[in-house]
Amino acid sequence: MPYKPAMNRRMMITATAAGAALAGAPLRVLAQDKQAHPNPMPAELRRVLERNPALPVLGNPQGDVTLTEFFDYNCPFCRQNMRDVQRLIGEDKSLRVVFREWPVFGEGSFFAAKASLASLQQGKYWQFHEALMSMKARAEQATVLRVARDVGLDEAKLREDMEKRAILDQIYESMDLADTMMLSGTPTFIAGHEAAFGRLNLADLKELVADARKYEL
């Protein structure tokens, strides 16, 4: 699912019933409406989206708002967004950020997603994530493993860990969530009950978080 040229498209995530996500029914994705009910996302969907304990979490683990990013290591907009996400985390000390690997750009992306999640076992997720996002080359097995060595990961352990069922389950959960919420592509950022798709700058990200925070506090 390649990225689309339309950028910073905002949407409200809403469901026809509280159990829609768990039942596999698709969620309706509506154009943002400032007058819409501020609490449309089913609580169980939001819990799965934000609170899986296996998720990579950056920023403040106890933050008052969670920003979730669905991304692919071969997505150009995802790579462009990385620095603004870093700046946002540095500036907003009350923000919790969750990363969800959504490998939609082919086998290389899937390999990179598995390796990235496996790097959590060696305590080097952020260094590896940043290095993969900063690559000029496409993320493929050879380039991903080269980056792994560059950041000091144990390659043998990484290869072993990335084939564990828990890693695949995490990726498939993200895929299922993206399908359930009818996300348009990568990158998609979700905060509270709203999402934004496409290339976002720091101001865009701050606005998304601020809108979510109004309803959280």
| CATH number of the domain enclosing 119 | 3.40.30.10
Express each pLDDT in 99-155 by its tens digit. Answer: 999 999 999 999 999 999 999 999 999 999 999 999 999 999 999 999 999 999 999
9: its two tokens: 């498209």
Q: Is residue 142 part of a domain?
A: yes
Express each pLDDT in 93-104 by its tens digit. Answer: 999 999 999 999
Express each pLDDT in 153-208 by its tens digit. Answer: 999 999 999 999 999 999 999 999 999 999 989 999 999 989 999 999 999 999 99
Residues 6+ apart with CB under 8 A from 184: 4, 9, 197
**Can you tell me the distance from the alpha carbon of 44 to that of 52, in angstroms, rounded to the nearest whole number?**
11
69 pairs with which residues across the strands?
Answer: 99, 189
Q: Is residue 26 part of a domain?
A: no
**Residue at 121: amino acid letter:** Q
**pLDDT value, residue 141:** 98
- How much of the chain exceeds pLDDT 70, in percent? 82
- How many folded domains does the chain comprise? 1
Q: Coil, helix or strand for 170?
A: helix
Q: Is residue 23 part of a domain?
A: no
Helices (H), the chain: 20-23, 43-51, 76-91, 107-118, 125-133, 141-150, 155-161, 165-180, 202-216
Residues 6+ apart with CB under 8 A from 158: 115, 118, 119, 122, 145, 148
* Radius of gyration for the alpha carbons in the chain, expressed in angstroms and rounded: 17
Are β-strands 194-197 and 188-191 bridged in parallel, bridged antiparallel, or unpaired?
Answer: antiparallel
Is residue 107 within 8 Å of 116, Cβ to Cβ?
no
**pLDDT value, residue 39:** 53
Mean pLDDT of the chain: 85
**pLDDT value, residue 89:** 96
The domain in which residue 118 lies consists of 9-14+52-216
Q: Is residue 32 part of a domain?
A: no
Q: Is residue 72 part of a domain?
A: yes
Q: Is residue 34 part of a domain?
A: no
Q: What is the pTM of this model?
A: 0.83
CA distances from 100 to 34, 43, 183, 200 (A): 27, 19, 13, 17
Q: Is residue 45 part of a domain?
A: no
**pLDDT value, residue 136:** 94
Express each pLDDT in 8-27 by its tens digit. Answer: 555 555 443 223 333 333 33
**pLDDT value, residue 52:** 93
The larger pLDDT score, comparing residue 199 to residue 2, is at: 199
Q: Is residue 41 part of a domain?
A: no
**pLDDT value, residue 11:** 56
pLDDT level of residue 38 (50, 70, 90 thresholds): low
